[in-house]
Amino acid sequence: MTDPTGTAGTALGATSLFLQIFQGCVDGISVWQKGETLASDALIFKARLEMQAARFKAWGLDWGFDRGPDAACWKDDRFIENGDLAVKYVVIIYGFLDSLGELSQEFPALASAENVPVSAATSLGAMLRMAFKDSQEREEWAKKLEAMRDEAKVSKKLRWALKEGEITKTLELLESMIDDLCKFFKPPENDPVAMQVANSLLSSLNISKLNAVAAGAPDDSMLQSLALLKVMVLQLQLGARNAEKVDEKDRSLRETGSLDERTRRSTGVFRKGTNSTDVLVEWKLIDGSHIPPGHTAATYRAMAGNRIKNLARLLKWSSRLEDLRTLDCIGVITRDGPSDDEVRYGIVFSMSRKKYTTLKTILEGSQNNIYLDDWFKVAKSVTRAVLCLHLAGWLHKGLRSENILYFQNDTGNISYEEPYLAGFEYSREISAPGQTEGVTDDLEANLYRHEAVQGVPEEPSKDDQRKAGKTPFAMKHDIYSIGILLLELGLQKPIIQLYEEATQTEEYEHSAAAFREWILSKPLPKLGRSRGKEYMRATELCLKSDFEGSSTDEMQQAFYKSVVRPISCSWGR
């Protein structure tokens, strides 16, 4: 084995150099991801380049390059023995991107593929000088890296292919280089979710582009499914008409269990044709006695009913992607409510087994047969599922332990890595005081909600949007709820018990903000002893919304790197 203090050790010991070069590659690729109006060849070029960018960034995420000296690669024998090779490949990839910047000035079709000037984020030489300032040994290594770049002769390899109409050929070198990196320096375990987080294609809000992504990713079922689901989410948000039938006949349902008044769930058997299925039904109540401004009773019922049916359409489609952990939705049935002003909608889900329980019930019951790795399995599965929802542009809005379901086998056993997310909320119109359309606007449900979004989600009218009103529900509010769930899992008790402890504290006066401050100062530090520092830090980040970056894709990447990945790695993947 090569001495780690030798040449490779010198390179990899100066972690800032390698990480700067890697980030330079990522930045260089990102310059090509801003345009929307492209010629056909240039569009193909850009799409393929973005796919390679996702592979390259996912490779870096899996190795943990964002963790600096703590990255797994610095302890791996392959990097210790072949450090020169790893650095050389990354430098050549950087040179490829640098050459694209130079050549874009010579080839109009390539330059016009973007709406911004194309150049590498910074020159390799400047980056090296910055990384190795005042060090003779480092200066020599910098020269060696410069020589590697010159030897690669990337520009010469590219020029023959960069002719009008043939620009896609220039990607062959980049693809093969990244192939080599991913195969030889394969991370301990490739995480398919990391690939989607790193893929800038999913951050688009352009429906045509997302459809093109889905059509162009036949070998990546996860990317394809997330892109198509995001298209549906965007279309429904824009008010597009969805013709998919979700209405089912009420007479097809035979209820076998009583209604849970709190969760509004019941069980039954659903018969369609000659087939009978055990089902779970979630009931949504529309109360027409409190009509929001600008609506008649008829228009309000139609609007609210349509939103519930759109939610069912999303749930019906989302069950195709296992990582989302949603139940298989059959459709919606409609019933008259207890009064003439009320209508009940039942979203019907098929059940894999007759018996189910909730995470809340598990937290409240005996935990003698639940092991530490089981708690980590729950945390891992739920955080990953919520991340996938967010990648598809979908917010849950009702994350709490009573909305995380587990199915039990005949002996009562549970697979803790297989939770199902239920209780998805739909946005209501802002309505008259006291109008809650159900029982979710209560103290316990609000303990899971960020202080800015207490109560059921509301959809402000145009007039309300022009004045300071209720904060719109956003991704960070789902993430706050995840923080509460992680706290429950770590302390193995429901949040209502923590609330009761808080109210017994001297001088504590309850409010959503006061409760958040209390859990950050009192229960949170206990997680370090029971679950480890990384788990505690991940929970704290969720509760504080303390993530780097403000854009949607930046927050998704930060949530993956700071919450999903450390929790997955805390007890193995």
- What pLDDT score does 58 carry? 81
Of 235, 240, 425, the C-alpha closest to 347 is: 425
Q: Is residue 2 part of a domain?
A: no
Q: Is residue 421 part of a domain?
A: yes
Of residues 44 and 359, more confidence is placed in 359
271 band by pLDDT with thresholds 50, 70 and 90:
very high
360 in the same domain as 500 = yes
Whether 24 maps to a domain, the answer reads yes
Q: What's the pTM value of the predicted model, to 2 decimals?
A: 0.76
Burial category of 572 from C-beta neighbours within 10 Å (exposed 0-12, middle 13-18, buried 19 and up): exposed
Residues 104, 213 within the same domain: no
Q: Are residues 203 and 290 in the same domain?
A: no
* 167 and 195 assigned to the same domain: no
**Could you tell me if 550 and 452 lie in one domain?**
yes
CB-count burial class (<10 Å; 0-12, 13-18, 19+) for 4: middle
pLDDT, position 117: 28
Residues 211 and 171 in one domain: no
pLDDT surpassing 80 at residue 241: no
Q: Are residues 95 and 77 in the same domain?
A: yes
Strand (E) or helix (H) holding 49 = helix 40-63
What is the pLDDT at residue 48?
67
Helices 40-63 and 171-184: angle between axes, nearest 10 degrees: 20
Residue 68 has pLDDT above 80, yes or no: no
Residue 465: which domain range?
A: 355-573
Which residue type sits at 55? R
Q: Which of 126, 181, 115 is nearest to 149 (CA)?
A: 126
Alpha helices in 64-187 (DSSP H): 77-81, 83-103, 108-111, 124-131, 136-152, 154-159, 171-184
Query: Residue 460 has what pLDDT?
Result: 53
Residues 391 and 529 in one domain: yes
Higher-pLDDT residue of 294, 444: 444
Residue 107 has pLDDT above 80, yes or no: no
Number of folded domains in the chain?
4
Which of 73-87, 177-191, 471-485 is least confident? 73-87
